C-alpha cells in the first residue's frame, strides 16, 4: 500500500515577521511511501496548481487570524490618566448589595464618611461622595485649644475646614496614616533604584549624632530600619488613647517644633523587634532618615518616581521645621489612592515598568507581627495592615478619621473610603470587609496577572 504525504515549506525572503503576514513562494515536499521503502522528491507547486493556490492563500490568512486574536486579547488597563468607568455587573459585582451599603453609608451608620469607591478588573465601577459641613460640625472645636488643635491656626488644627479633611477646597483628602503606607512604597522604590543603600538591618542611631540623643542604652542602639517599618522599635510610645486625649504621644509630638528629636529621645520600653506598638513617631523618623541616606527630600523623590508615573496629584504637609510629615500629612483623592493598591496588585509594575520591586511588594505584605486591635485580628507588614480573610489577607492602608485603602488580591478588588470621624470611633474594618465580600461574584479579569 502506498500513500503520499505533503509537507509545506514556506519561503519568505527578506520579510520581517513583525511586519505582519505576507504571501510567499511555496513548495511541497512529497514523500512517497511504498512497501519497499521511502522515496523523497521535491516538486514545485506548479505541478499541483490548485493545492498551491489553496496553501498560499490559507497560510497568510491563518497568520492574519492569529494576529487579530493577539490584538484583540485584552491587556491590563492602566489608569494613569484616569480610571475607565464600568458597572458592577460588568465585573461580577452585585450592584444591589453595593447600593444597600451605599444607603447605609449615606445614613451615617458608619459615621462621617466622605467618599466610597469600588474598583475591579482595572475599572472604577462604583463611586459616591457624601457631603458634610465640617465648618458647622467642628466649629466649636476649631476655636478651642486642645490635643488636636494645639496652635489654633495652621495645618495641625484638625478641625479647620481649610485644612481638613480637604486640602484648601480641592478634592484632595487628608490621608492621615495612609501616609505611612505610601512612605513604605517610596522606600521600596529608592532601595530598588539603588538610591537608598542602607540595609534594613542598619541601626537607626547610625543616622543621628548620638551625643544629641537622650535615653540611650543598648536596646536603643539595636533599633533597626526594619523595626521602624514594622512598628517594633521598642520605644516608649502611647498611641492607644484617643488622639484628643492629652496623653497621646502623637498629638504631643505634633505640638512640638522638632518632631524627630521628640521621637528619638523617648526611652525604651521593650527589646526591638519583639512587641508591636503603633507609633506615628516611628514613621516620622523615616522622613529624616531618607534625607540623611539619599540626600533627597522624600516628597520630591516620591513625586518623581511614584506620583508622576502613576498620574497621582498630591500635597504633603511638613512639620514646623520643614520635614515631610510621613506619619500623616499626605493628601490624595480616592481615585488616586486606589492606584497605590493597583500598583501592588500588579507586583509593583505600572505600564510595563517596574516602579517598585516585586520583592519589596512581597516583603511589605508579609505578616511580620501580630497587631490585633480589640476584636480586629490584624497582622502588620512594612506599614501595611493585613486582615485575615480565609487563608489569605486583605491588604489595608488605614488612617485617622476613616481613611481606608482595602485590596482584596484574590478577588482583584479595591475599595477606598475617606471620612472625617475624628472624635468618635469609626467603622470596624471587619464589618467593611464582610459587606464588600458579600457583593463579589466569581469572575476572571481580562489582562489580570492574578
Which of 79-83, 95-99, 139-143, 446-450 shows the lowest per-residue confidence on average (mean pLDDT)?
A: 446-450
DSSP string, 55-99: HHHHHHHHHHHHHHHHHHS------TT-PEE--TGGGTB-HHHHH
Mean pLDDT on 31-50: 39
Best CA proximity match to 312, nearest among 330, 287, 337: 337
Residues 23 and 138 reside in one and the same domain = no
How many angstroms separate the CA atoms of 260 and 245, rounded? 21
Q: Give the 3-state secondary structure of residue 39.
A: strand
140 within 8 A of 149, measured Cβ to Cβ: no
- For the chain, counts of helices (H) and of strands (E): 15, 17
pLDDT tens for each residue of 103-127: 999 999 999 999 999 999 999 999 9
Taking all residues of the chain, what is their mean pLDDT, rounded to a whole number?
Answer: 87
How many angstroms separate the CA atoms of 442 and 440, rounded? 7
92 within 8 A of 440, measured Cβ to Cβ: yes
Which of 10-19, 65-74, 382-391 reaches the highest mean pLDDT? Answer: 382-391
Q: Give the 3-state secondary structure of residue 332.
A: strand
Residues 102 and 35 reside in one and the same domain = no
- Residue 118: cis peptide before it, omega within 30 degrees of 0: no
Domain count, the chain: 2
Cell numbers describing residue 194: 539603588
Residues 123 and 243 reside in one and the same domain = yes
Q: How far is CA 302 from the centre of its chain?
A: 14
22 lies in which domain range?
3-72
Mean pLDDT on 139-152: 96
Best CA proximity match to 302, nearest among 229, 258, 356: 356
Q: Which of 22, 48, 72 is the last residue of a domain?
A: 72
- For residue 79, being part of any structural domain is answered with no
Residue 241 or 6, more confident: 241
Give the alpha-carbon dihedral of 82, 85, 88, 93, to 10 degrees. -30
Q: Give the 3-state secondary structure of residue 426.
A: coil
Residues 143 and 35 reside in one and the same domain = no
How many angstroms separate the CA atoms of 5 and 170, rounded? 74
pLDDT at 319 exceeding the cut of 90: yes
DSSP string, 195-246: S--S-TTSBGGGGS-GGG-SS--HHHHT-BHHHHHTT---B----SS-TTST
pTM (predicted TM-score): 0.84
CATH label of the domain that carries residue 138:
3.40.710.10
- For residue 49, being part of any structural domain is answered with yes
Which residues make Cβ contacts (< 8 Å) with residue 71, sequence separation at least 6?
none
Residues 237 and 369 reside in one and the same domain = yes
- Relative to beta strand 84-85, strand 123-129 is parallel
pLDDT tens for each residue of 69-100: 333 435 899 999 999 999 999 999 999 999 99
Q: Which of 17, 45, 72 is the last residue of a domain?
A: 72
How many angstroms separate the CA atoms of 58 and 134, rounded? 70
- For residue 450, being part of any structural domain is answered with no
Residues 208 and 334 reside in one and the same domain = yes
- For residue 449, being part of any structural domain is answered with no
Read off the pLDDT band of 426 (50, 70, 90): confident
Best CA proximity match to 373, nearest among 427, 330, 327: 427
How many angstroms separate the CA atoms of 369 and 54, rounded? 67
Read off the pLDDT band of 374 (50, 70, 90): confident
432 within 8 A of 391, measured Cβ to Cβ: no
Read off the pLDDT band of 450 (50, 70, 90): very low
Residues 135 and 281 reside in one and the same domain = yes
- For residue 447, being part of any structural domain is answered with no
Q: What pLDDT is attached to residue 8? A: 35
Q: Give the 3-state secondary structure of residue 384.
A: coil
Q: Which of 20, 44, 72 is the last residue of a domain?
A: 72
Residues 388 and 314 reside in one and the same domain = yes
pLDDT at 21 exceeding the cut of 50: no
Amino acid at each position: 500500500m502506498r500513500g503520499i504525504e505533503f509537507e509545506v515549506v514556506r519561503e519568505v525572503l527578506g520579510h520581517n515577521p513583525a511586519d505582519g503576514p505576507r504571501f510567499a513562494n511555496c513548495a511541497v515536499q512529497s514523500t512517497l511511501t511504498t512497501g519497499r521503502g521511502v522515496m523523497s522528491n521535491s516538486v514545485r507547486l506548479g505541478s499541483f496548481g490548485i493545492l498551491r493556490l489553496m496553501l498560499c492563500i490559507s497560510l497568510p490568512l491563518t497568520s492574519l487570524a492569529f494576529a487579530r486574536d493577539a490584538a484583540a486579547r485584552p491587556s491590563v488597563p492602566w489608569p494613569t490618566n484616569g480610571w475607565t468607568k464600568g458597572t458592577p455587573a460588568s465585573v461580577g459585582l452585585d450592584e444591589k448589595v453595593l447600593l444597600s451599603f451605599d444607603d447605609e453609608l449615606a445614613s451615617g451608620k458608619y459615621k462621617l464618611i466622605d467618599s466610597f469607591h469600588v474598583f475591579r478588573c482595572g475599572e472604577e465601577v462604583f463611586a459616591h461622595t457624601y457631603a458634610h459641613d465640617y465648618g458647622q460640625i467642628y466649629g466649636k472645636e476649631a476655636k478651642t485649644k486642645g490635643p488636636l488643635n494645639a496652635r489654633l491656626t495652621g495645618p495641625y488644627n484638625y478641625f479647620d475646614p481649610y485644612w481638613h479633611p480637604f486640602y484648601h477646597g480641592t478634592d484632595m483628602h487628608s490621608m492621615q496614616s495612609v501616609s505611612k503606607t505610601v512612605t513604605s512604597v517610596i522606600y521600596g522604590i529608592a532601595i530598588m533604584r539603588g538610591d537608598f543603600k542602607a540595609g534594613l538591618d542598619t541601626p537607626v542611631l547610625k543616622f543621628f549624632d548620638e551625643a544629641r540623643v537622650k535615653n540611650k542604652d543598648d536596646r536603643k542602639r539595636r533599633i533597626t530600619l526594619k523595626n521602624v517599618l514594622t512598628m517594633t522599635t521598642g520605644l516608649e510610645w502611647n498611641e492607644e488613647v484617643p488622639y484628643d486625649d492629652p496623653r497621646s504621644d502623637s498629638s504631643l509630638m505634633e505640638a512640638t517644633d522638632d518632631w524627630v528629636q521628640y521621637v528619638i529621645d523617648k526611652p525604651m520600653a521593650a527589646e526591638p523587634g519583639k512587641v508591636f506598638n503603633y507609633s506615628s513617631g516611628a514613621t516620622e523618623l523615616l522622613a529624616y532618615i531618607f534625607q540623611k541616606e539619599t540626600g533627597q527630600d522624600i516628597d520630591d523623590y516620591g513625586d518623581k518616581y511614584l506620583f508622576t508615573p502613576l498620574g497621582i496629584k498630591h500635597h504633603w504637609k511638613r512639620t514646623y521645621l520643614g520635614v515631610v510629615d510621613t506619619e500623616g500629612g499626605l493628601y490624595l483623592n480616592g481615585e488616586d489612592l486606589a492606584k497605590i493598591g493597583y500598583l501592588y496588585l500588579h507586583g509593583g509594575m505600572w505600564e510595563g515598568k517596574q516602579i517598585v520591586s516585586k520583592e519589596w511588594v512581597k516583603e511589605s505584605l508579609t505578616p511580620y507581627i501580630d497587631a490585633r486591635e480589640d476584636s480586629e485580628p490584624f497582622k502588620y507588614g512594612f506599614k501595611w495592615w493585613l486582615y485575615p480573610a480565609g487563608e489569605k489577607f486583605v491588604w489595608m492602608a488605614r488612617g485617622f478619621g476613616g481613611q481606608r485603602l482595602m485590596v482584596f488580591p484574590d478577588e482583584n478588588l479595591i475599595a477606598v473610603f475617606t471620612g472625617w470621624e475624628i472624635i468618635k470611633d469609626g467603622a470596624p474594618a471587619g464589618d467593611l470587609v464582610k459587606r464588600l465580600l458579600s457583593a463579589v461574584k466569581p469572575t476572571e479579569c481580562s489582562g489580570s496577572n492574578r
